[in-house]
Structure 1
Amino acid sequence: MTMEIMIVLGLVVSAIILFATERLPVDIVALILMATMLLSGIITPAEAIGGFSNPATVTVGAMFVLSAGLYRTGAVNAVGGALARLGRKSSWLALGAMMLFIGTISAFINNTAAVAIFLPIVLGVARDTHTSASRLLMPLSFASMFGGVCTLIGTSTNILVSSIIERHGLPPIGMFELTGMGLVFFCAGTLYMLLAGVRLIPDRGGEDNGERRLRSGDYLTEIIIQPEARSVGAVLAESPLLHELELKSVEVFRDGRRLDNAQEQIVLRAGDHLKVICDLENFRKLQQRRGIALKQELDQGAAGGEPEATTLVEAVIAPNSTLDGRSLKEARFRSRYGVTALAIRHRGRVMREILETTVLRAGDVLLFGMAPREIERLRLDRTFVVISEVQAPVFRKRKTAIALAVVTAVVTAAALNVIPIMTGAIVGCIVMVLAGCLSPDEAYEAVEWKVIMLMAGVVTLGVAMEKSGAALFLSKFIVSAVGSAGPTAMVATLYLFSALITAVLSNNATVALLIPIVFATADSLDVDPRPLIMAITYSASLDFMTPFGYQTNTLIYGPGRYRFSDYLRVGTPLNILFWILATIFIPRFWPF
């Protein structure tokens, strides 16, 4: 083993640890890897920045813009409206239709964007049908993943794989080359969810008391007792505050110090600062209660904000958000967004830190008090996905036909090999802007820059794996362990290995890491590498066992009130089913 191989393998192990522990954002980890390999001399400066000019990176960025064009014109939301009407008739009919709709749409636009568009709609369906939101959101996420593996452009992973194998001299993946195997997964996954998966999802509330239980769960907020409050002078345990409201937890702070006495020993005073945990209904009662002031609203008033009528808005922090890993204070949230976060719910469990200093993560739900005129601005900010049914966003409906025509033309041109997918996507973005489907600023905002940085970084890691000989080194272990069992056993092994790696790495990082190993393995076995590549491609985009293995799972984590174990319970049988199907059918679709 050479020194270069040792360095690259050490970087791979470090990357896995950093990705799994989330101590640093994934895009920063990727860029650190790139810089380390550049400084060590393993890659050249041209190779280091080659990931930014890689066709996959450019194409994925363009597809984000095309997806935004469909959203801004209301093209996708029209389907969502039909789903909402169907949901009022039957929750089971709505579930099947939802999975079909989201799966189909996710085949042609980025599946994370599709879930973000459908999330508020599905919550509305849950409320109208008195169904637990948890029973609908996990099928929503999973179906988007089923659809995403049916075409080249359904997920960024497919585009990245196509670019990598083309660099190795293989034909790129065709627009519909993945469709046959993808439909096998789509049909099997949908049947599993309808017949068994939904029954395995715990009921996290939603059908009994309408909106109160439907919402995202219990929030942490902070209040200040005012002199006119009826609870002033009362023992906390006997106070009107506790007797008239359903508060799950109350902590009292006085002069900056937490009072550790029992509730029967604390006499409330004007100016006491209380940290309170309650659901949305009781939060509203707190907000309207005489003598109770929300600390965040008081702070906003002290900063010069003018009080005005506000609406409560719930918004989940999107994957790749700039808020991920930062607190409200660190992000200078109030000055940046001009709105106040009144309460927080953190990835399915209540946090007990002070609201301003709580470290936010993708999937957290924030509760805002804002003027109706501000709601649309928050909806259009890709940092959040608004999940409250407050008001319908404004769409450019006169441009809907143009947006649909542009995306159809891009897909058709790529499918018929008229022009490369990258060229078609770039031209499509230009037409979207010139036609007024979205503004130039909206086009820039549509790009998930964290994804772009991650892809650029991991492409460089793949180059280093090959150049240093680390890929060949690892492939020898795989061939010695499984090679004698035949190429079909190798498909099964690589699919399973990729599934396990994807549970802790991002899907793009997984394929960038494993595909160089696949090429070396195929050379050792003297077989066509394409079936082995397809095993990695599908597996990396079909992780159901964790909320972090795929972005759509992270997006629904908070609103669905899920726990980590929920994904294991529902997703593990599905991963095993897909592993068996991949082992059987991939060698049939792509013979060795």
Structure 2
Amino acid sequence: MANTRGPRATRVSFLVPFVGIKQQLREGLPWKSIAVLALLMVASVILRCSGWCPACLTTGAPGRMLLVANLLMTFILLVPQGIPAELMLLFIGAVCSLAGILTSKELFQGCASDAVVTLALLFPIMKAMGDTGVPERFIGCMLGSAKGPYSLIIRMFFSVAILSGVFNNTPIVVMMIPLLQSLCLRQGVPSPAVLMPLSFAAQAGGSLTKMGSSINFVADEVFRANGYGIGFFTLTLGCIFICLLGGAYCAMMGPKVLMPVSDAVESSASRGGTNLFKVAFCPSEDGPLVGQSLEDLGLHRIPGVEEITLHRWHDVELVEAGVVDSNATAQSLQLEDSLYARCSAEGVAQLRRVRGLELCNDDELNLLGSKRRQRCLCEAAVKETLHGQRVSLRRFKRELRCAVVAVRSGAESVESEWREGFEGYEIQYGDVLLIEAFQEMFGSEPWLEHFSVTRRVPDSEPPRRGTKADDLRAIFIVVGLLIMIIIASGGKRAPSLPLMAVIFLCGIIAVKGLSLPEAYQEVNGPVLLTIVGALALGRAMELSGLANCLATALVALTRPLGAGAVKLGIYLATVGLGQFLNSAANVAIMGKIAIPIAHSMEIAVGEMALVVTYAASACYTAPYGYQTNTLVLRAGGYVWGDFVKFGGILQLLHMLLVVSMAGWWAKFSP
């Protein structure tokens, strides 16, 4: 064995490659940012020792202002390197507290603000609303008859904008991405032409009401102390104009600019596949599929779907959807028809998401009861212990906690049959069952006894709709949300939004719209802590005099060109800072800068509040400046240049609209 104790010996690990401390420091730290911060600190020390005191400093001391300025630059430089924004903001607040700029009470004052409390309650409420399927049904109705990219984009833009006015826009985009990808595949439209406009629609609609975005709550917290509170519908008028502008631009330019991003949509007719199941579907009574032809439905374009055939019982006719030149494909789908699909397990999961389509044996699956969020599809190869036995729905539910969706025969010479139910089906050794099962059963003793191999199908949770309990729960949540909005927007004498949200959330838990652990899980801690830290940083900038000095510098640059140029400078500074900062932190910082500018230039605080809020809610030129942009980045296959090319013009149009119309909107805002 070689000697490893000599001076040239190297340390080796067979599990994880050993990385030396020097290499960790060299590769793990953002040295360029650290070098910039070191230079800034040296410059600050020199200025402080020279007795420098800027004329703009009316409150605070030069040393405190320089400290807050360095901390702000630390945040801007290090957060893009991967340091959590909420952790950095709280650290900055703690340092300011130790330096005597903030008191401990001011550091954590944001925890008791209406903005933080309301958002903490709205996160689980919006989750419960999304689980009802009502938002998806609303968007499905809006998109159902869209033909071609132009119609699809315009319908999608306004439906998403409306939903973003009452929902947090991030879960709206998460819900819409797979729905739009499926719809684009079915219609033969490249999804990149639609996904970036989806993100822009969610951003634009976030200002429709106060509860549409966390930005609005922070803006209210910042500007209310200076005489301009943001009510429930304060931002609505401006948002309508912004949505009209954004919808028109995306519909006209999206297909032209974004269509070349992806390759042509590939139909299932050109794809080969193995390990396919034969699954029977039927149209639902209240769905949008009845009356459409198979070719128009485009179900055969969904990945994993190899063939869709229509089975019409009264004349026993099978129609192949993939045959474009067949006259039969023009026949419309009737309520009594069935759709037979040859598809993979992933294809089955995708087809179940299509609104208006349900499994023919859905009644068998419903025997599994509630708790659908704990179930998923999986493939299970049967052992000899099940050979010759017949499927008993009650036994499968009781012992294996699953129900059969489809069967693929293990013998190559045996062709599996089309079945619309599996009660009494005789299982053969080697069969592969596609089952809906509770996830806790994976690896359990009953499964190990009867199944040799199991595979979980990703993203295959069953849709939470269809039963009477689901309908009643959906009605309760929708009506309750509307009542909460109406009461909370009733004026100063009406109960506050946090109070109404508490009562409504308790009602949701009572009707099992959410369980209490699920409600806790949905509270987005990073967002709430970011707001707390951002409010503390804004307060530190105000007390140290940094906000006033930055405002003075901005006024000096733009004052010769008039009040319009000042508002333009505020807009550009907000959008520019938004490329690096979280939107909530951006509003808190720019709000503190904009308020003294408004006073010195005799501009209404309401105008500045609208400019800052709308600018912070519109990040069209960078994929990482807004969370919805990051969500569609990978799904659409975009690069940074796509956002600059497509979103840059929209950002310019948005800027001209907001700056020119903010004064008028402020006068008519309730």
TM-score normalised per structure 1: 0.69
**Which of 26, 29, 35 is matched with 2:94 structurally?**
35
C-alpha deviation, 1:424, in angstroms: 2.4
Give, in whole Å, the separation in 2 of the partners of 1:90 and 1:14.
Answer: 48
Cα distance in 1 between the residues matched to 2:345 and 2:159: 34
Give the drift of 1:311: 5.5
**Superposition misfits of 4+ residues, deviation over 6 angstroms:** 211-214, 312-315, 374-377
Deviation per CA, 1:64-116: give whole Å up to 9, x if none: 122112112222121243356335x4443222211111011101111112111
| Separation in 2, partners of 1:213, 1:36 | 62
Q: Report if aligned partners of 2:150, 2:252 keep a CA contact under 8 Å in 1.
A: no
Q: How does 1:185-224 map to 2 (within 5 A)?
A: 185-205=242-262, 207-210=264-267
- 1:521 correspondence with 2:600: no
Aligned match for 2:647, one of 571, 574, 578: 571
- Residue 121 of structure 2 corresponds to 62
Q: Percent of counterpart pairs with the same letter?
A: 24
Q: 1:376 to 1:529 in 2, by over 3 A?
A: farther
Q: Distance in 2 between matches of 1:371 and 1:37?
A: 58
Do the aligned residues in 1 keep the contact of 2:170 with 2:627 (CA within 8 Å)? yes
Bigger shift: residues 476-485 or 142-151? 476-485
- One-letter amino acid of the counterpart of residue 545, structure 2: G
- Displacement of 1:420 in angstroms is 2.3
Aligned partner letter, 1:394: R
Amino acid at match of 1:133: S
Tell me which of 206, 219, 223 is aligned to 1:148: 206
Matched, 1:410 2:484: yes
2:463 is equivalent to residue 393 of structure 1: yes
In structure 2, what is the equivalent of residue 438 of structure 1? 514
1:31 & 1:314 partners in 2: Cα distance? Answer: 43
Inter-partner Cα distance in structure 2 for 1:48 and 1:13: 19
2:165 and 2:209 in contact (8 A); partners too:
yes
Kept after mapping to 1: 8 A contact 2:149/2:189:
yes
1:456 to 522, 527, 532: 532
SS of residue paired to 1:176 = coil
Q: Displacement, 1:427?
A: 2.5
Q: Render the CA deviation track for 1:200-234: whole Å, top value 9, x for unaligned.
A: 115343643147999xxxxxxxxxxxxxxxxxxxx
Q: Which amino acid aligns with 2:464?
A: V
Alignment partners' CA distance in 1, 2:192 and 2:153: 12
Aligned AA for 1:409?
Answer: I
1:69-468 equivalence runs, <5 A:
69-83=128-142, 85-87=144-146, 89-166=147-224, 168-205=225-262, 207-210=264-267, 373=437, 390=460, 392-395=462-465, 396-417=470-491, 418-468=494-544
The equivalent of 2:406 in structure 1 is none
How far residue 436 of structure 1 moved from its aligned partner, in angstroms, is 2.3
Is 1:68–1:446's contact at 8 Å kept on the other side of the alignment?
yes
Contact 1:73 1:398 in 2 (8 A): no
Structure 2 vs 1, CA of residues 53 and 561 (structure 1 numbering), >3 Å: closer, same or farther? same
Deviation at 1:426, TM superposition (A): 2.6
Q: Distance in 1 between matches of 2:74 and 2:657?
A: 33
Residue of 594, 614, 619 corresponding to 1:543: 619
Is structure 2 residue 611 aligned with structure 1 residue 561? no
Are 2:121 and 2:501, in contact at CA under 8 Å, matched by a contact in 1? yes
Determine the structure 1 residue equivalent to 2:424: none
1:518-568 Cα shifts (integer Å, max 9, x gaps): 111122223321101210100001111011111111111111111111111
Q: Give the number of the structure whose alpha-carbon radius of gyration is greater.
A: 2
What code does the residue aligned with 2:91 have?
A: I
User: Structure 2 CA distance, aligned partners of 1:451 and 1:93?
Assistant: 35
Q: Tell me if the contact between 2:150 and 2:255 (Cα under 8 Å) persists in the aligned partners.
A: no
Between 387-396 and 175-184, report the one with greater CA deviation.
387-396
Other-structure match for 2:418: none
With the length of structure 2 as denominator, give the TM-score of the two structures: 0.61
Where do 5+ consecutive residues of structure 2 fail to align?
Answer: 1-52, 54-61, 272-302, 305-343, 351-373, 377-433, 442-456
- C-alpha separation in 1, matches of 2:67 and 2:134: 49
Shift in Å at residue 41 of structure 1?
2.4
* Structure 2 Cα separation of the partners of residues 184 and 85 of structure 1: 25
Deviations 1:133-161 (A, max 9, x none): 11111111111111112221111101110
Q: Is the CA contact 2:190–2:259 (under 8 Å) kept in the aligned structure 1?
A: no
Deviates more, 1:32-41 or 1:102-111: 32-41
For 1:559-590, what per-residue CA distance to the aligned partner results, in whole angstroms no more than 9, with x for missing partners? 11111111111111000001111121112222
The CA distance in 2 between the partners of 1:402 and 1:338, in whole Å, is 24
Aligned counterpart, 1:17: 77
Q: Distance in 2 between matches of 1:128 and 1:72?
A: 24
Match of 2:47 in 1: none
- Provide closer, same or farther for how the CA distance between residues 207 and 83 of structure 1 changes in structure 2, counting only shifts above 3 A: farther
How many angstroms apart in 2 are the aligned matches of 1:73 and 1:501?
A: 38
- CA drift of 1:31 comes to 2.1
Aligned equivalents of 2:216, 2:536: Cα separation in 1: 17
Aligned positions, number: 438
Cα deviation code 1:130-187 (max 9, x no counterpart): 2111111111111111111222111110111012222x24242121111111111100
